[in-house]
Amino acid sequence: MPSEFDLIRRHFTRPAHHTELAVGDDAALFTPRPGTQLAVSTDMLVAGTHFFADTDPEALGWKTLAVNVSDLAAMGAEPRWALLALSLPAADDAWIGALARGFFACADAFGVDLAGGDTTRGPLNLCVTIFGETPVGSAITRGGAHRGDDIWITGSPGLAALGLAHLRGEITLRADHARRCLDALHRPQPRVAFGRALRGVASAMLDVSDGLLGDLGHILECSNCGAIVDTNALPLDPLRAAGADALLARRCLLSGGDDYELLFTAPATQRDALVALSRQQALPLSRIGTITDTPDQLLLREADGSEHTTPHNGYDHFA
Amino acid sequence: MPSEFDLIRRHFTRPAHHTELAVGDDAALFTPRPGTQLAVSTDMLVAGTHFFADTDPEALGWKTLAVNVSDLAAMGAEPRWALLALSLPAADDAWIGALARGFFACADAFGVDLAGGDTTRGPLNLCVTIFGETPVGSAITRGGAHRGDDIWITGSPGLAALGLAHLRGEITLRADHARRCLDALHRPQPRVAFGRALRGVASAMLDVSDGLLGDLGHILECSNCGAIVDTNALPLDPLRAAGADALLARRCLLSGGDDYELLFTAPATQRDALVALSRQQALPLSRIGTITDTPDQLLLREADGSEHTTPHNGYDHFA
């Protein structure tokens, strides 16, 4: 019977496209293109903390890579290589095969070579490191937001959180809505092309993994500024249409994580360009607020015009 | 009370030396030097599989980085950056502080910037990704060994395995010997300077992590060749001096892992240069055998001149 090592080798060995030496030596070898800066990130996904142990392994394979790809999208960088380290309890051929299928579906979708990795026995844990390129000086960090900048969000944030609420039995969604929300949760679509198009346009950016307000707080902290979010401008319609009441829709949108949409700031002079880009890439875009110069102050402006501060409700794994 | 996240931030935030953007954004940014190729590797260390849960956290911090640095040493590459992803059960200030102390002691010793990472809650798991540079085309892989090449090993392999045997109560070493062996086990010294000096000299190389014979097997497989190892030439004296009998010394040297010495092949024309290099770097070097052209055949030649094949006794985490 083949060992897990054999199974990993069989399912995870694929031809590399732009890697001089991939899986099988002490290190992988590759050469970033001249004039580029390397953008690198690592994310560890742990069974029981980030996903249920019985999660569909193909979806898990996709998501494991996708959340890392999303980190590069949030820098405006182009993903190029990845390493996968995994710790596995006893696992069977079908499970590892499905994991690999999902992983490579995402790798192929975003032009990523699996350049190497590590396999060991232990509690289920998947750790991807991703490497991308961006022209020197073009990366979009969290630290560049200025007073008066608009605040924008891509797509329909909150669908993943609504899917999770459905899984937890807090709400029962209609089958087609459940499918769409669970797809957002299990197969997030990193906004790589959109992120690249924002080079020279966005002043600060990150991807929403822990909740919109909490992640906006990271921009405020890094940029030493504040923000007013206009609740009227929030893209709540997709959540309402999927069956969430007003309160749940708002909670999912503002505090839910796992959507991997891009949250960014840009000068008001970029509005037309951004609306055009949204149309061109067929990706909805919502202008949800404005950057202020009051450090770390996050205000919500309600429909009646009243304003109130809000804590940064990011999801804390240790809370 | 500070959360584990706060503790990690406090203890693991240090100034970076050659990283444009380190910890705190979606990705780290750095620029490999022109003319270099990137060598990258990842290793996952899991409590219960790779170390005892009650291991001294400072030693664990050192080793977590050191085993990755060693992977680059084994390519002849220069370590430059690392990412650390860790999954932690509840942990206290003293434990995390000691882990960081050990990690940065190793980082400082080898000129490595901690460029970023990830922290989450879960079973104890440490995953480092290391990035190094090597002039384009100079990396030493496992695949370049040729018939007639000498086989060399640095240092005193087997001391770590002897330390482990002592920990397991299979042998009781004298206190000073135990200290030396446990030091080899807990604080391996990656052979970075020696590895770099072997560019253009060694034909194939790896670091011994899973046992000398098993790892030699990897060179044979990648280079499509065989080997004769001369048991008379093995550096058994340090193990005998530490208290191991002949049988245990041989087992520790040939099948023990975790030493992170360099095992390499080189043409016989390099003997004088290698002896000089060993003296210059004050690192013992043993010429223990010869590469043959019989694919995958690993022969041991005993003191009486007899030869016999041996299985590749690498340590298999799933065995």
The CATH number of residue A277's host domain is: 3.90.650.10
The Cα A187–Cα A258 span in angstroms is 10
**Across chain B, what does the average pLDDT equal?**
91
Helix, strand or coil, per DSSP, at residue B285: strand
> In CATH, what number is assigned to the domain containing residue A85?
3.30.1330.10
In a domain, B34, yes or no: yes
Looking at the structure, do residues B261 and B199 belong to the same domain, yes or no?
yes
**What is the C-alpha to C-alpha distance for residues A207 and A195, in angstroms, rounded to an integer?**
10
- A140 domain-assigned: no
Q: Is the pLDDT of residue A155 over 70?
A: yes
Q: Is residue A145 part of a domain?
A: no
Q: Residue B316: is its pLDDT beyond 60?
A: no
Cβ separation of B121 and A5 shorter than 8 Å? no
pLDDT for the residue B179: 96
The answer to the question of residue A318 being in a domain is: no
pLDDT for residue B281: 96
Question: Are residues A23 and A155 located together in one domain of the fold?
Answer: no
pLDDT of B208-227, one tens digit each? Answer: 988 999 999 999 999 999 99
- The pLDDT-based confidence of A1 (bands split at 50, 70, 90) is low
- Total domains in chain A come to 2
Residues B156 and B273 in one domain: yes
Nearest CB to A28 within list B41, B49, B85: B41
Q: What percent of chain A has pLDDT over 90?
A: 73
- Kindly report the nearest CA distance between residue B308 and chain A, in angstroms: 27
What's the pLDDT score for residue A258?
Answer: 86
Tell me, what's the pLDDT at B1? 54
* Domain boundary, last residue among A83, A109, A135: A135
Helix, strand, coil in percent for chain B, rounding step 5: 35, 25, 40
Asked if residue A42 belongs to a known ligand binding site, the reply is yes
Which residue in the set B47, B118, B141 is minimally distant from A44, CB to CB?
A: B118
Judge if B154 and B277 occupy the same domain: yes
Task: Please indicate, yes or no, whether residues A250 and A128 belong to a single structural domain of this protein.
Answer: no
pLDDT at A255 exceeding the cut of 80: yes
Of A21-35, A36-50, A64-78, A238-252, the range with the lowest mean pLDDT is A21-35
In terms of residue numbers, what domain contains B206? 150-309
Q: Phi and psi at residue B233, in whole multiples of 5°? A: -95, 0
Does A24 have pLDDT greater than 80? no
Same domain, B106 and B167: no
Identify whether residues B168 and B274 lie together within a single domain.
Answer: yes
Q: Is residue A230 part of a domain?
A: yes
Confidence of residue B28 (pLDDT cuts 50, 70, 90): confident
Predicted local distance difference test score (pLDDT) of residue A314: 44
Q: What is the pLDDT of residue B319?
A: 33
- Residue A275, domain member (yes or no): yes
Does residue B313 have a pLDDT over 70?
Answer: no
Is residue B314 a part of any domain in this protein?
no
Does B188 share its domain with B263?
Answer: yes
Q: Are residues B205 and B101 in the same domain?
A: no
Question: Considering only alpha carbons, which residue of chain A is nearest residue B319?
Answer: A3
In this prediction the pTM is: 0.89
pLDDT in tens, B228-245: 999 999 999 999 999 999
Contact across the interface for A222 and B31, Cβ inside 8 Å? no
Nearest-angstrom CA–CA distance, B173 and B184: 14
- Give A7 or A61, the one with higher predicted confidence: A61
Same domain, A90 and A10: yes
Q: Does position B307 have pLDDT exceeding 50, yes or no?
A: yes
Q: Which residue, A135, A164, A182, sits at the end of a domain?
A: A135
Final residue belonging to a domain, choices B109, B135, B161? B135
Task: Name which of B12, B25, B113 to mutate to probe chain A: the one with the most chain A Cβ atoms within 10 A of its Cβ.
Answer: B25
Helix axes B159-167, B246-255, angle to 10 degrees: 110
Q: Is residue A141 part of a domain?
A: no
pLDDT digits (tens, 9 = 90+) for A258-304: 889 999 999 999 999 999 999 999 999 999 999 999 998 999 999 89
Q: Are residues A103 and A190 both part of a single domain?
A: no
A157 and A130 housed in the same domain: no
Could you list the residues of B known to form a binding site for Mg(2+), using ranges: 26, 41-43, 71, 118, 207, 210
Interval B82-111 mean pLDDT: 92
Q: Which residue, among B129, B142, B215, B312, would best test binding to A if mutated, counting the most A CBs under 10 Å from its CB?
A: B129
What phi, psi does B144 have (nearest 5°)?
A: -110, 10
* Averaged pLDDT for residues B292-312: 88
